Chain A
Amino acid sequence: MSLKSTQLPTPTPSKSRTLRPTSLLNGRISLPKRPAGTVYRGREGMWSWVLHRITGVGIFFFLLVHILDTALVRVSPEAYNAVINTYKNPIMGLGELALVAAIGFHGLNGLRIILIDFWSVGTRNHRLMFWIVIALWIVLMLGFAPRHLMHVFGAQ
């Protein structure tokens, strides 16, 4: 008997994380539980890309505003200080924390992308490198966040 591809049952996503092309069910060989090629979707590869893209866009729009507000030093000391002082409140302070978090991830993950592209075993280790990026990012944030929050919330 030959099966046409259109007669195959619709693949359902399997609960287990490991890909098994075939498995024994009641002693009979069953068809793959999900299509090949989903090792990417929903996993480290996809999420690192999503985060890299979102942080990149966020930083870009921040940079547009940042160049404009810094340009105020050319207008007058008063103009620059007036605008910078409106940034000195808890909401913007948390925004600065988010900005550093975004740049930290984008930068570290950017190095991971470069290693995937140029290091002979980069592709093979991209998942491990993602978790190393997350670990380094946590260390970075632990170093930055407390000190920054102290500056924002007044304690020296």
Chain B
Amino acid sequence: MAVTLNEPRTKDSPVVRRGAGKNWEKWGWVYMRASGLVLVVMIFGHLYVNLYAGDGVSALDFAFVAGKWASPFWQWYDLVLLWLSLIHGANGMRTLINDYSISPIGTGLKKLLSPHFIMKSALLGATVVLLILGTLVIFTFDPCPVSSNPELLPSFCPAAS
């Protein structure tokens, strides 16, 4: 097969890329590293307070969580942890789907029904639903719900016994 070579020093023809210059893949790469740095510190703090300090796991119950989320500090701490870690994990799982499943060549229904597309949609769906759920739980949470067993409530609740 004959191959035509360009004259030496001819300029490369301009590369036309999809997404017109926005390198999303690069920002994903940057995000994995930036969020990773913050996550090491925050996950260490999370595990230290919930699993190590005091009586460790045996102290976990509703009153423990309510005691923490009565303070805006822990509400925001857990919110940042939720968003950073879930998006980091989901983006990592996206890498695995890209690595192990072949992306469909077709379009339309052929694309919609391919395992690759279904897995990516399920991943995106689960991530979005859990981000919304977690955020709502943190900020609509009531540490002293009326009509529940007073013995299970944190000690600062008026109804607590």
Contact = CB atoms under 8 A, between A and B. Distances in A.
Given A74-B141, A100-B47, A156 B55 contact: yes
Contacts of B145: 76-77
Contacts, number: 103
A64 to B, nearest CB: 7
Contact of B60 (A57, A78, A84, A110): A84
Q: How large is the interface on A (under 10, 10 to 19, 20 to 34, 35 or more residues)?
A: 35 or more
B51 interface: yes
Given A81-B62, A114-B33, A144-B52, A63 B149 contact: no
Interface of B: 33, 36-37, 39-40, 43-44, 47, 51-52, 55-58, 60-63, 65-66, 69, 82, 85-86, 89-90, 92-93, 96, 126, 130, 133-134, 136-137, 140-141, 145, 148-149, 152-153
Interface of A: 53, 56-57, 59-60, 63-64, 67-68, 70-71, 73-74, 76-78, 80-81, 84, 87-88, 93, 96, 100, 103, 107-108, 110-111, 113-114, 117-118, 144, 147-148, 151-152, 156
26 contacts: A57-B92, A59-B89, A67-B130, A68-B130, A70-B134, A71-B133, A71-B137, A73-B62, A73-B69, A73-B137, A74-B136, A74-B141, A76-B145, A78-B152, A81-B62, A81-B152, A84-B61, A87-B57, A96-B51, A147-B56, A148-B51, A148-B52, A148-B57, A151-B55, A151-B57, A151-B58
